[in-house]
Amino acid sequence: MKTRLFIYVAAVLLFIIQGCKRNESSKSPAESVNKPAKLGPSSAPSAYGTFQFTNVYSSKVLEVRGDSTLLHPQSNPKNVQQYTNLNWGTGISANQKWYLIQQGTGPITGSTVFLIMNVSSGMLLEAPNGTSGTQLWVDHANGFPSQAWSIHQVTGQSYYYIQNANGLVLTDHASSTSDGAPVTEETLANTTNQYWNLGSITNEAYRDDAVVQFFHRGAVSNTTVAFDEGKSVPLSNGSNNGKVLWITEDSYASSQLQTNGYLYCQFFSYHNSGLLQPSTTNWTSSSTPNITTTSNSGTGVSELEIIKSPGAHDATYSWPGVGVEIGSNVYEYTYESANGSTPANQVVNQIAESTSSTAWGSVTRLTPNGMSGQTKIGYSVGMVKKSSGDTVYVYGAEGTTFNANAIFLARFPTSNPSSWTFWRGHSWATTPDTTSALSGALTIGSGTTTQANTMVSYCNGKYVMIQLDLGYFCDPSSHNVYISTATSPFGPFTAPKMVYTIEDWYNGHIARYYTPAIHAEFNNGHNELLITYCLNYNAAGGSCSTATCFGGNQDPNFYQVKGVRIPYSLIGL
């Protein structure tokens, strides 16, 4: 996309820029009315960085309207406008923050092409047509010149005008000073309502729209299209080297999709599934098929469900989560629901890889000592294989009070994944401490607890912990993502730092969110950590309706994985 965009736009911009530069210093009649506000000097545009754009005339900042339209392409109603600057810190008012992304390389000049990406939505600023006065919107990346912008310093000033490939420029329409006034594309008039201060700020976490779109899977036969879990396992075995296995929990099948792209109003088909991504840079969903295993062979349940239920399929379930690859097998933590008189359990499932097809092999159920047979400490929080390859660290959680967990560490040798030992604070033992003493609980900040939605992984030399504010109840007052780090698997972890605010809306309310995950293998070249969380329609209680289906349609995009990129520098990696 970048190559196509850059070549197409470069010639257009060169023509436009030369004509416009002749007019930069001329003063139109309107200029005597549009007096510049007293703003600090602009920052110079950078090849890749986060900015706020403040209109010189109105002193308002460029934003995407912060309502339930925020995370959707909005051709109608258009939702790019100006507003009072509400940014008072990292992760706050992300809809008012933008990434400049240089296309191509070389020194930045007036002919340099940029994409302008909104931090909150991850979508790109777009001029919808070549008609002066049209309000702007944001859209998914499409490679069209309508998303290509150049940035020109006004002669003798520190501020800029921002020009689309169609020649029209970013404008505070009608020189408004009102919050919510539309920002439009208009003919260059060299008036201060078309001039913008570029305020460089620390690079912030942003929604990765390419990752979000990757999980919008179409009605391809034999695939799963919506799920409320997304853990990833990087692979290195044979021809699987460089691929990534995505593990899901409850999943809708493509056969449950209607021709309009919505689900029929019904429950999911499977309790888990696996997707095989061809590389860490390929975010085309059609390139990522499901795997099958022989686990459900002969049961009447589709082999797209890769780990069978412990009892009747419609009454019990197996929920896999964190995992690692060892040799030619993937080892998956799995929670098993109660089966009649048999209590709930946790096990490790060994899945035999295929390096020649998506038809993988057998699934062997392992019951490690001290871990299986008890569920007080659930070891679903993280699996990290040491760089030496001889040991896997496993993180578990025990609920202590409402929405509070103590985090524990276990380990097993890669030579024997059934032989676990458990950290007791000063030494390893053959069993975990499931008493109220909580010996071995790891330190996080000034305490030993996290919120309920937590995961631990490893990235760039540090152990990384993610937490989410509780997202099960109607319109939580705080709905943020937090990161802590440690230099040792034993901790201590730093105090949680808020890095991103979740703004997914369903049916007029913040959607239910949970199951955070860290995916360190997806380095996009900008030193940014990929994290995900999942949605499950609407949260409960208060004014939040229990309805998930409207007019016979259920939107699969609200039962899917959502991606966020966090700059390493923001969290000390």
pTM for this entry: 0.93
Query: Which pLDDT score, from 0 to 100, does residue 39 have?
Result: 72
Q: Look up the domain containing 177 and give its range.
A: 2-203
Q: Is residue 410 part of a domain?
A: no
Position 142 pLDDT exceeds 90:
yes
Report the pLDDT value the prediction gives residue 439, as an integer from 0 to 100.
Answer: 94
Mean pLDDT estimate for the chain = 92
Q: Which of 145, 178, 203 is the last residue of a domain?
A: 203
Give me the pLDDT at residue 219, please. Answer: 77
pLDDT > 70: percent of the chain: 93
Determine which of 35-39, 186-190, 472-476 has the lowest per-residue pLDDT on average.
35-39
Q: Does residue 26 have a pLDDT over 70?
A: no
Question: Helix (H, G, I), strand (E, B), or coil: what is residue 435?
Answer: coil
Residue 366 is assigned to a structural domain of this protein: no
Domains of the chain: total: 2
Domain final position from 203, 233, 259:
203
Q: Inform me whether the pLDDT recorded for 5 exceeds 60.
A: no
The helix (H) or strand (E) run that includes residue 405 is strand 404-413
Distant-in-sequence, close-in-space partners of 469: CB < 8 Å, separation ≥ 6? 451, 476, 478, 479, 480, 482
Q: Is the pLDDT of residue 16 over 80?
A: no
Stretch 7-28: mean pLDDT: 35
Name the pLDDT band for 3 (thresholds 50, 70, 90): very low
pLDDT at 453: 97
Q: Which of 11-20, 209-218, 477-486 has the lowest mean pLDDT?
A: 11-20
Domain boundary residue among 179, 203, 227? Answer: 203
Residue 19: pLDDT band by 50, 70, 90 thresholds? Answer: very low
With pLDDT > 90 as the criterion, what percentage of the chain qualifies? 89
Q: How far is CA 305 from the centre of its chain?
A: 25
pLDDT at 446 over 70: yes
Instruction: Using the CB atoms, write b or e for 332-363: b if 16+ within 10 Å.
Output: bbbbbbebeeeeebbbbbbbebbeeeeebbeb
Question: Does residue 431 fall inside a structural domain?
Answer: no
Average pLDDT over residues 419-427: 97
On whether residue 360 sits in a domain, the answer given is: no
Instruction: Over range 77-92, report the average pLDDT.
Output: 94
What per-residue confidence (pLDDT) applies to 421?
98
Instruction: For residue 211, report the phi and psi dihedrals to the nearest 5 degrees.
Output: -70, -45
pLDDT at residue 38, as a whole number: 56
Which residues, in sequence order, are CB contacts of 436 under 8 Å at separation 6+?
none
pLDDT tens-digit map of 328-348:
999 999 999 999 889 999 999
pLDDT band for position 76 (cuts 50, 70, 90): confident
Model pLDDT for residues 518-551, shown as the tens digit of each residue:
999 999 999 999 999 999 999 999 999 989 999 9
In a domain, 88, yes or no: yes
Query: Does any domain span residue 374?
Result: no
- Model pLDDT for residues 168-186, shown as the tens digit of each residue: 999 999 999 999 999 999 9
Compute the distance between CA of residue 327 and CA of residue 29 in angstroms, rounded to an integer. Answer: 74
Question: Averaged over 128-157, what is the pLDDT?
Answer: 96
CB-based contacts of 395, cutoff 8 Å, min separation 6: 379, 381, 382, 383, 384, 407, 408, 409, 410, 455, 456
Q: How confident is the model at residue 4 (pLDDT cuts 50, 70, 90)?
A: very low
Any idea what the CATH number is for the domain that residue 142 is in?
Answer: 2.80.10.50
Q: How far is CA 381 from CA 110, 325, 452, 485, 518, in A?
A: 49, 17, 10, 15, 11
The answer to the question of residue 436 being in a domain is no
User: Is residue 266 assigned to a domain?
Assistant: no
Pairing of strands 421-423, 404-413: antiparallel
Q: For residue 268, what is the DSSP state?
A: -
